[in-house]
Structure 1
């Protein structure tokens, strides 16, 4: 049995000693909003000063795949030289780089293409790879080969493998389960072993990391006999603010018993509170890290390889963008400093405010007024303005103002009927709001374009800002049109 650290007098089981991880990784989820190299050059020194010493880079379709994999490459993907530039920046600031390649679940960016759609586990769904086709393994080998070619010095490779939805639902899987008397965990472990074996045999000095959620349901005997423990280091992820400390500690002990002698933890600093989240609630993520600290304090030294602070940009390839990286940096800073110092205190908050150039930093609530001097802080400031002072007031005006809803409804606007006196009631606020929208969106677009490719800015604007802006603009246009025809009263 894994021996836990000695309990403190209060019986909590927590050591008073600070937990020190060999590697504290910041996850860069690049699907949908890959930062420009120039921005990363500004951000990496900041992350280093906050206590990070590694990057977990999830490229997905932003990697410059070539040859037969060219369809996977997005128009806004990095070039090979940009990848080399990123790695050079990481080396300059002493970051360990770990690439992440999905090899089983979350394969949408691959299986959505007609060239690879025949490799789906279930023909209708592009999320999971069919593990029974030889071509599936060959595809992964080519993907891994191209990524490794541009990352020749890495010591770890993360092969994803989380949330393999519908595994066992494909016809070949059903036949295998029926004929061999096996279960879904066996299917999963067999595929993971093939992928990990390929990596370790092709790149002997590279160790394999994988998400652990598909391992949790397997018995100790199944995991032990699979042989996966000799090939893979599991990364246990849980992004909740009230995670089960006892349960996660027991899970580490289970993996230890199965032969996994190096284990990783994964928290979240953004991207885990809603698929369309715009602002980051720092307190949620701070509590998540506090819980993980408690878990880490219960585990003997030497077992935990490191902690990855994930920052999801999309929930999956087809979902909308959630909090952009510059928006999540205050949360990342709080979480990194909490890990570095061993606890959260006013000293931690003051240190983060100083590093980020922020006068105030509220971890419990969304901040309606925010300023800062860290790279990209203007994006957070402008999105905060948009959220509190444009989006909400505009919705209240369009849907709740009695003069708009009572005297200038869609029925009135369609027929250009407006009592002249109502122009005085509606027009000033409508024009004022529209002027503010124009100013803030111009500034926000300029600020975002300094950090992200135009396709990211276009998507964010179209999803979040333009629906409200255009409704307000149409109202003003209809107001002017109704006034131009003489302000007819409703008959």
Structure 2
């Protein structure tokens, strides 16, 4: 797939025209910065696909990217073991930054430095830096080597992102903090708490960023800060070093509660705050199609939060698009599949709501004739980059398993004459083979052809490992059931009786 040029005439994509100016895009939005989150710890898109999708991000209203590399960053030296086989090369990272700049998308890299450290601490050579020996998710904040490790990670990432105004240092969901042996001993000392321990590590990492990269401001997810008393947070020195990103992906987000939390952070001394909504990856670890209405409601609630707070308190909003819940979980909604949800959410944030004119603009930008918000299907799946993947994933997600289940669990010939009992004992009435086998072969053939088409589309966008994983999780189990049924039919089929002698005479 390519981006048409001006010479492509009537087939030219509506979003391949000149970008609107920042003033035009921001008039109705309380969020000056609107960052699309690229979670690369699962199904990282090829640079060729990013070159196609960045112009659309910009046309939809984004002006920045939060890029969470995890193991796709090309770490060097002792950190090279963190690289996944499909990691980007330094040249590819540079090209991504060039493409982003060409489409006026500011890049903020994200490096996990406390929680969600599975991609680091899963390695045997670094397992001694775990907070709890058994679990690879949280870094031990007591070890000097821990700070040296994340400092080296930060430095390598920022060296490839010269001029970055912000660096997100993660620090969310620091599970089991305080439960390691070193922490247990430390917490026995008077006035030591897990909150103090958390703030101490955040301050150390942020201080490293400020000292080594003075032009870069650290951002942190705010969940570990929410319940810390105001006076303790104020006295920690952390508010002078970082900008919190308040995240909540719920459709029923508590607007008043978030407004109060913003005021608390302001009183603690944080000069600037950020919000984080979601456009995919937040409604189920194995979700294949994003519920657009849920994400729209979430983003509309964030507009209400912005209206409640003091003007310009919120620097911007990050529209998160999680690709895995953590390093070890399955893939959730693929990026191309989430584009309609992203479009609805970005345009709503840009224009202050989702009125009919906004819906019409989304449909025009995506090439969708009729966009469905409440369900998961729309009339046509669009002409945006990756829309072919969306169409095929919808077919698989909505119909593959149900069609196979319909045959295996509700077809009267299968359930009545070739049940599990019969299959185990290789028992079948020969006439039933004629009822079951053609139907199973037809179903398998139809889905096998679609799977080949989907695999080809996925390979254009994602590395081999991501394609293999998605198909194994979402397609192969159902196809395997059909193949097993056909194998069992073959095994149960009685041998063909030999033909009698030909006497050359009729009856």
Return the TM-score normalized by structure 2.
0.91
Equivalent pairs, count: 471
Partner of 2:191: 181
Using the TM superposition, give the Cα deviation of residue 424 of structure 1 relative to its aligned residue in structure 2, in angstroms.
Answer: 2.9
What are the Cα deviations for residues 397-444 of structure 1, in whole angstroms up to 9, with x where unaligned? 112323212211233223332112212322232122111111110000
What are the Cα deviations for residues 4-33 of structure 1, in whole angstroms up to 9, with x where unaligned? xxxxxxxxxxxxx93332210000000121
1:379 is the counterpart of 2:400: no
1:211 is the counterpart of 2:230: no
Give the Cα–Cα distance (whole angstroms) in 1 for the partners of residues 358 and 394 of structure 2: 23
Q: Tell me the SS of whatever aligns to 1:371.
A: coil
Q: Tell me the SS of whatever aligns to 2:274.
A: strand
1:152-167 alignment to 2 at 5 Å? 152-167=162-177
Return the TM-score normalized by structure 1.
0.94
Give the Cα–Cα distance (whole angstroms) in 1 for the partners of residues 79 and 457 of structure 2: 33
Q: 2:71–2:119: 8 Å Cα contact kept in structure 1?
A: yes
Partner of 1:76: 86
1:102 is the counterpart of 2:112: yes
Using the TM superposition, give the Cα deviation of residue 486 of structure 1 relative to its aligned residue in structure 2, in angstroms.
Answer: 4.9
1:410 is the counterpart of 2:398: no
Q: 2:272–2:315: 8 Å Cα contact kept in structure 1?
A: yes
Using the TM superposition, give the Cα deviation of residue 360 of structure 1 relative to its aligned residue in structure 2, in angstroms.
Answer: 2.0
Partner of 1:296: 306
1:120 is the counterpart of 2:133: no
1:433 is the counterpart of 2:434: no
Give the Cα–Cα distance (whole angstroms) in 2 for the partners of residues 288 and 277 of structure 1: 17
Using the TM superposition, give the Cα deviation of residue 369 of structure 1 relative to its aligned residue in structure 2, in angstroms.
Answer: 5.9
Q: Tell me the SS of whatever aligns to 1:157.
A: strand
Give the Cα–Cα distance (whole angstroms) in 1 for the partners of residues 336 and 75 of structure 2: 27
1:242 is the counterpart of 2:252: yes
Give the Cα–Cα distance (whole angstroms) in 2 for the partners of residues 156 and 446 of structure 1: 37
1:258 is the counterpart of 2:285: no
Using the TM superposition, give the Cα deviation of residue 480 of structure 1 relative to its aligned residue in structure 2, in angstroms.
Answer: 3.2
Give the Cα–Cα distance (whole angstroms) in 1 for the partners of residues 415 and 164 of structure 2: 61
For the pair shown, which has the larger CA radius of gyration, 1 or 2? 2
Q: Tell me the SS of whatever aligns to 1:234.
A: strand
Give the Cα–Cα distance (whole angstroms) in 2 for the partners of residues 110 and 398 of structure 1: 44
Q: Tell me the SS of whatever aligns to 2:189.
A: helix
Give the Cα–Cα distance (whole angstroms) in 1 for the partners of residues 410 and 72 of structure 2: 43
Q: 1:370–1:384: 8 Å Cα contact kept in structure 2?
A: no
Partner of 1:391: 401
Partner of 2:24: none
Q: 1:106–1:316: 8 Å Cα contact kept in structure 2?
A: yes
Partner of 2:368: 358
Give the Cα–Cα distance (whole angstroms) in 2 for the partners of residues 76 and 222 of structure 1: 43
Give the root-mean-square deviation of aligned CA atoms. Answer: 1.3
1:426-465 alignment to 2 at 5 Å? 426-465=436-475
Partner of 2:18: none
Alignment partner of 2:355 out of 316, 336, 345: 345
Q: 2:430–2:494: 8 Å Cα contact kept in structure 1?
A: no
Give the Cα–Cα distance (whole angstroms) in 1 for the partners of residues 177 and 272 of structure 2: 27
Give the Cα–Cα distance (whole angstroms) in 1 for the partners of residues 249 and 407 of structure 2: 37
Using the TM superposition, give the Cα deviation of residue 228 of structure 1 relative to its aligned residue in structure 2, in angstroms.
Answer: 0.2
Using the TM superposition, give the Cα deviation of residue 347 of structure 1 relative to its aligned residue in structure 2, in angstroms.
Answer: 1.4
What are the Cα deviations for residues 356-389 of structure 1, in whole angstroms up to 9, with x where unaligned? 1112211101217642110000111001111222
Partner of 2:411: 401
Give the Cα–Cα distance (whole angstroms) in 2 for the partners of residues 371 and 215 of structure 1: 41
Q: 1:416–1:485: 8 Å Cα contact kept in structure 2?
A: no
1:199 is the counterpart of 2:209: yes
Q: Tell me the SS of whatever aligns to 2:109.
A: strand
Q: 2:30–2:312: 8 Å Cα contact kept in structure 1?
A: no
Q: 1:353–1:361: 8 Å Cα contact kept in structure 2?
A: yes
Give the Cα–Cα distance (whole angstroms) in 1 for the partners of residues 203 and 466 of structure 2: 36
Give the Cα–Cα distance (whole angstroms) in 2 for the partners of residues 359 and 482 of structure 1: 50
1:88 is the counterpart of 2:98: yes
